[in-house]
Every structure is written in structure tokens, then in C-alpha cells.
Amino acid sequence: MNAIVVRNLTKYFTPSKKEKKKGRARNPSLESRKQGNNSIIRAVDHIDFEVKNGEIFGFLGPNGAGKTTTIRMLTGILKPTNGEILIFGQNFWNNPIKAKQIMGHVPEEANVYMDLTGLENLSFIGELYGISKKERISRAEQLLKKFELFEKRHLKSKKYSKGMKQRLLLCMALMSNPKILFLDEPTSGLDVQSSIIIKKLIKDYNKNGMTIFMTTHDMDVANEMCDRIAIINRGKLIGLDTPENLKKLKQEYQAVDFYFTKEAKESELENLSSVKEVRKIRDYYHIIVHDLNDGICEIIEYIKSKNLKVKKINTYEPHLEEVFLKMVNGGDDY
Amino acid sequence: MRISKEVFGVKGSKKLGLTVQLRRAAAIAQKDLRIYYNKPPVIVQGIIFPVILFFTFTIGRKIPTPLLISGLMAMVIFLTATSIGPFVFPWETMRKTFERLITCPVSVKTILFGSMLSSFLFGVIFSLVPLVLGIIFFSLQITINFLIILIAMFLAAFVFSSFSLILSAPPTDMPGNIMIFTLLLKFTILFLSPLFMPIRDHPLAWISPLTYFVDIVNVSLGLESAFGHYGILIDFAILSFFGVFFLFLAFMLHKKTLQKRFRN
């Protein structure tokens, strides 16, 4: 069963009088998405996708692409102009309170209550989810220990560092033990230690069956953590697949880099049936092949026959960042 | 359907009923009281203003004790019950904690009711101060009907905390802006109210909801109602009307402006 199903989801904004007067939208990146003269801004434009139960789903896009607007619609902050959101098969807007009961949300900006302590923040959120006092305290303490905040539990959260606040936000989102966790840029601007803790714990929770929906700018995080990735640009979905498939989709050629202990003959390598092209770059050979497996096998045979020794082999594959940039700048439609 | 039941819980809808929402509103009220009671705008509008205005209105004037107590109680309950609400919404919009509340399983009405409850409690607690002072210093000079005063206090706190929800409806994220706007409105209402003077002496007194609270307190302290023999009943009826009207208007306005808070 899908945890989230999004059908034809759309969000249009009408600029306020003030914005109309100034002649621009609050978010300048949305300006270019105005529809003709009627000044409607298409923040999210008829998107469809599904998030499977138990997967980590990444939502990527450049600034102003519509990521936050989408996550805000999925968490009930913004009401869609059009379209449908199903949470475990039930229409979100038919009973938003019931749907929110099984969701946790970590926004991009740390919105903890600065005048409450870490423990008080968690206890308050627990109360809003209807957790009993005894259970609240026990869960809060467990989470604070897990996220290495227990020692600072009685400190007002305005005294927490950015990383600590982000961890507290995660604790708040996890207080109700949600089935779906929404994360908006969870590791953005964090120190290495906090980032590692957060990534590890997200993976742990996912292993225990929690569905994760996360937006991120960090391609390494997306590549490392997400089962599937959707790419949104200018309000439209332009790609959705596993990181591996997305990379394949944009892979123009397959290649392997060989580092030999002594010079090899480029012409001989080029004569191999599975080799398309050979480029000598500094101390290695960038060999473009028709098929990676056949190519490597044939090149190794050649190496053996010529008594060459290999220092290092690298297979070439496009980085997710390249795929992302290509899709976003190339304007490919999904 | 079975999977949905497993996910959402069999008793899902029952569990999220009115009692649960009321409990959650109480949690929001408790949070508001804990966080905002000592914020400068709340202290200035809720405590310092009533004290300053009390002296401004009364020094050098010979005012009968019941009018002194009723005027002070009315001013305190009005200013304190309307001090937290208009501050909380823009502040929480600015800090994005309002978004946090919206993502929790609480309805907008629950959030509004929670905010109203904190204003209500703030108003009731602080308006007890002039009453207690009145009893301590003037108990020999006045007769007091406590029950009527208490009911009136609760009703007035309800009216003015509903009014504070109206003041908090503009979808701004700058508390300063809304505080200026609310001050202008609150001073206008104060000057339209017959504070520290006989109600009949004020030509526009009938406009202000404060008038009816003052009249009830005056009657409870042994004076005659300004609205005739059944004056106190009229007072309660009109105050109740104001309360329901303000609450209805506040819910309508917030429903209209809610989405505008999340444009950024």
C-alpha cells in the first residue's frame, strides 16, 4: 500500500495588494511563473506521485521550485488549489486531524518554542497528540537520550545550538511515533556531528518501517539515503525514479578509467571490439565502451596478453548532481 | 479498509472528538500562559497601562468607591484579556511555531479556543486584584454580591478574550504592527466606556461592551442599574450577545486570513 498518493496537486498563489503594487512576488523565483496578466503564481502545477509505505522518498529541486509548498500541502499547512492527497488511502482533507495524527513534520526553519525547555517542548507536542502524561515523559526522555540532548533537557531551547535545535525538532516530530515523517532540508547548515547523528537515526527509523518524505539540496544525502527521488522544477515534476535509474537515464556513455604501470598503445585499445573510444588523460586511459561488463572483460584480456599491470580502475558514472543540473537546466519533462 | 484501520486506529474518529480537542486547547492555553505572560507588550498592555490609566482617570477627582472598583475592574479585565491574544498570533507566525501547531492534530478552532482560554484566564486572574483590594480597603463602605461579580467577570473575560481573537486575525508576522493597531482600538473603546463615572453621564456608553460589565459590578456593589429595574438581566444578555458575536466574527476572520499567514 502507498503511504502517500498525490494526484494533480496544484497550488496557485494570488499576489497580495502590496505585492501587486510593488509589481513582484514575495518569492522572486516564483515571479517567472505568473500566468499571463492575471498575476496568478503557479507554485505547484499539477503534480502526481506516490510514496510507498516504508521508503525514503527524496524531493529535490532548485530554490523556489515548489518543494516547500508541496511539503506544506502534504502536512496540512497550505490548502491545495486543486488535486488530491491520499494518506494510506484516505483523503487528507476529508479528515485532516486524523491524517495529522500519524504524521510528523520537521520544517526547514527551527520552529521550537524558544522559551520552553527541550523537555517542555516535547511534552507540549505529546499533549497535542493525546499522549498520556506518563507516556509523554517516558518517550521524551528516550528520544532526548537517543538524540544526545538528555543532559540539556532542562535548558531553554533558545540556548541550544543550531544542530541541537534541529535534533530537538526531530524529537518533536517523532514524539507521536508517526507512520510518515516529513523532513524539509533536515541536514541543511548543520555541523558534521549533528548531520551524521540525524542521518543515522533517520535510517534507523526507516528500517523500523517509518515512511520518510524529505526535501534536500544535498545531492550526497539524497543519493545516500533515498530509495526514490522526485525532481521538481518550476512547479512541475520533471523526474521520478531510484537514484541509480536517474543516473542511468542521463548517462550519455559508459566508460572505465584504467591506470597502468606503463604506457599502453591507444590504437590497440581502440581496436578492441567492445571499445568505442580511448582518451589518454594525464596518467590514465579514459576508455568509452559499448557495454561496461563486456568492455572490462575484454580490456583485462588485453592487459594479460600485453603483460601490463593495473594500478587502479575506476568506472565512470554520472553524479546525481550532474543529473539534477541537466534535468533542471535542460527542461526535460518527466 | 483494514489497512487504514490498522494505520489510523479503530477508534480513530472517536478518539479525536470534542473532549480531546478541548484537552488540546487547554494545552495550548497553558503553553501561551507559560511563554507570553512576561513578554514586554503583554506586561505593558496588561499591567502597566491599567495602573497608569487608573491614576490618570482618578487622581484629583472625588469618585464614589463602587465606581472606583467597577471602573478599575473593567479596565483591568478589558486590557489584560486582550493583551496576550493579539501578540501570540503574529509572534508565532514570525517564529513559525504557528506552522508547527497547524501540522499537529488540532483544528484551527482548537488553536483559537486555546488562545482564547489563555486570554480568559489572564483576564480573570488579574481582575481579581482590584476586587481583592476593594474588599480589603473598602469592605466597610460597600456591600458586595460576590456571585454576580464572579459570573460577570467570567462573562466579561469571555467577551474580551473573543474580542482579542478578532484583534489577532490580521495575518501579519510583525507583532509591533498589530500592537499599535490594537492599542488604537482599545483606547477608543476605553474612552467610549463610562469608567469611574455614572453610566448615564456618558452619551455613547451603550456602544461599548465594557458599559454592561461596569453596570453589573455597580449593581453588585450596591448601586442602581443604569438600565432600569431589569438592568442587570439586560447587561448579561447584551454581554452574552457581544461574546457570541465576537467569537463568531473571530472564527470567520481567522478562517479567511489563515492561509495568508503561510505565504512566505
Which SS3 state, helix, strand or coil, does residue B61 take?
coil
For residues A248 and A242, give the distance between their C-alpha atoms in angstroms, rounded to a whole number: 10
Length of chain A equals: 334
* Percent with pLDDT over 70 in chain A: 90
How many Å lie between the alpha carbon of A240 and the closest alpha carbon of chain B?
26
* ipTM score assigned to the predicted complex: 0.86
Q: What is the pLDDT of residues A145-163, one digit of tens each?
A: 998 999 999 999 999 998 8
User: Is residue B20 assigned to a domain?
Assistant: no
The pLDDT, as a whole number, for residue B142 is: 67
Query: What nine digits make up the cell of B207?
Result: 456602544
User: Is residue B106 assigned to a domain?
Assistant: yes
For residues A40 and A31, give the distance between their C-alpha atoms in angstroms, rounded to a whole number: 9
DSSP B207: G
Which SS3 state, helix, strand or coil, does residue A79 take?
coil
Which residue range is the domain that position B64 belongs to? 27-262
A2-102+178-248 CATH, one of 3.40.50.300, 1.20.120.1200, 3.20.20.150, 3.40.50.150: 3.40.50.300
User: Is residue B257 assigned to a domain?
Assistant: yes
How many Å lie between the alpha carbon of B114 and the closest alpha carbon of chain A?
11
Ramachandran category for residue A171: left, alpha or beta (phi over 0 → left; psi -120 to 50 → alpha) = alpha
Q: What is the pLDDT of residues B2-26, one digit of tens each?
A: 555 566 654 444 445 788 899 999 9
Q: Which of A72, A88, A105 sits opposite B4 (nearest CB)?
A: A88
DSSP A135: H
Question: Is B97 in Cβ contact with A113 (below 8 Å)?
Answer: yes
User: Is residue B3 assigned to a domain?
Assistant: no
Q: Among B83-87, B152-156, B260-264, which stretch is predicted with the lowest mean pLDDT?
A: B260-264
Length of chain B equals: 264
Q: Which of A1, A124, A179 sits opposite B31 (nearest CB)?
A: A124
Which H/E stretch holds residue A268? helix A266-270
Residues in A 20-79 with any Cβ partner in B closer than 8 A: 26-27, 72, 75-79
Instruction: Quote the number of domains for chain B.
Output: 1
User: Is residue B19 assigned to a domain?
Assistant: no
Partners of A105 in beta bridges: A182
With CA atoms as reference, the chain B residue closest to A94 would be: B13
For residues A20 and A170, give the distance between their C-alpha atoms in angstroms, rounded to a whole number: 38
Highest mean pLDDT pick, A44-58, A277-291, B6-20, B220-234: A44-58
A98 touches chain B (CB under 8 A): yes
A252-316 is a CATH 3.40.190.10 domain:
no
B85: CB partners within 8 A, 6+ apart: B115, B116, B118, B119, B161, B164, B165, B167, B168
How is A209-250 classified by DSSP, letter by letter?
T-EEEEE-S-HHHHHHH-SEEEEEETTEEEEEE-HHHHHHHT
For residues B198 and B225, give the distance between their C-alpha atoms in angstroms, rounded to a whole number: 10
User: Is residue B100 assigned to a domain?
Assistant: yes
User: Chains A, B: CB contacts under 8 A, how many?
Assistant: 95
B259 touches chain A (CB under 8 A): yes
